[in-house]
Each structure stands twice: as structure tokens, then as C-alpha cells.
Amino acid sequence: MTTFTIQNSTANEIQIDTIMVYNSGWHEAAREGAPVKNDINSGFHLVSAPLKIAANGSVDIKTMFNTYVLYKNGLSSDSAFLLFGVRQSNLHVGLSGEFLRNTGIYGDKPGAVTWEYNPSEPHLTQTIRITKVGAS
């Protein structure tokens, strides 16, 4: 299991708008008020997805994935298989061999959120920090 700990380093609550998984295109796996979808990519399973982060708080998003199956099913053009979206700013998480990597910040408003993510080995907790959120 891989846990993505998302830390909110701002003074306001943050809503994760979407968690998306890649499989021949981006598909929504989780959003507020909707059930988690785990039938998107056979190489990925979202175990838990709390989406509201208290001011100066954090949430743990628990996942299970198989890198071999993710590669076999195909990655996005930037080698990503997972994204976290806040205010139309999307952090892409991808693969480089068996290791995770930050493949970039994209979306309609990539600069609306300041993300910090320095990936580590998949079996270790992945810490993602949000340090600034601008107007949506």
C-alpha cells in the first residue's frame, strides 16, 4: 500500500476537487459527494480518499497499485497515472521505472495552487505539501 499524505500549510481549509486515474485518458476516481470509482485501471485501487483538509492539517490518501500493470495499460504523455486536483491546478504523479515521480503541474489554472512533492520509493509514505492557494 502507498499512502499519499497531503499537507495543507495554509490558514484555510482546502477541498481536493478531484482525484483522477489514467487509462487511455483521465477519469475521475474520487470527488466530494460521489462514491469512489475503482474500475478505471486494473493496476490501481483507491483504498481511502478523504477530500477535505483542515487549515494546517493533513489527510492520508491510501492506494494500491501495480507498476507492471500500469505500464501495460499505458501512462499519460508525461508518464503519469494519478493526479490530485485543487482549484483547477493538477499535480501529476507518474512513474520512472519502479519509482514514483512528480511529472508536473497542469490544468486550466496550474498556478492557482503551489504544490511541493519530492517522490520517494513507492512503499514509503509520499508527502505532498500545499503551501499556497490563490483565487479560483
Per-residue model confidence (pLDDT) at position 134: 86
Distances in Å between the Cα of 34 and the Cα atoms of 15, 24, 122 are 14, 22, 27
Q: In this structure, what are the phi and psi dihedrals at residue 120, rounded to the nearest 5 degrees?
A: -130, -170
What average pLDDT does the structure give for the chain?
95
Per-residue model confidence (pLDDT) at position 74: 97
Residues in Cβ contact with 50 at an 8 Å cutoff, skipping those fewer than 6 apart: 59, 60, 61
Per-residue model confidence (pLDDT) at position 105: 98
The string of pLDDT tens digits covering residues 96-128 is: 999 999 999 999 999 999 999 999 888 899 999
Scan for cell 459527494, then name that residue: 33
Number of domains in the chain: 1
The string of pLDDT tens digits covering residues 40-65 is: 999 999 999 999 999 999 999 999 99
Per-residue model confidence (pLDDT) at position 86: 97
Print the domain residue range for 83.
2-133
* Per-residue confidence band for 131, with pLDDT thresholds at 50, 70 and 90: very high
Prediction pTM value: 0.95
Per-residue model confidence (pLDDT) at position 92: 98
- Whichever domain contains 19, its CATH number is 2.60.270
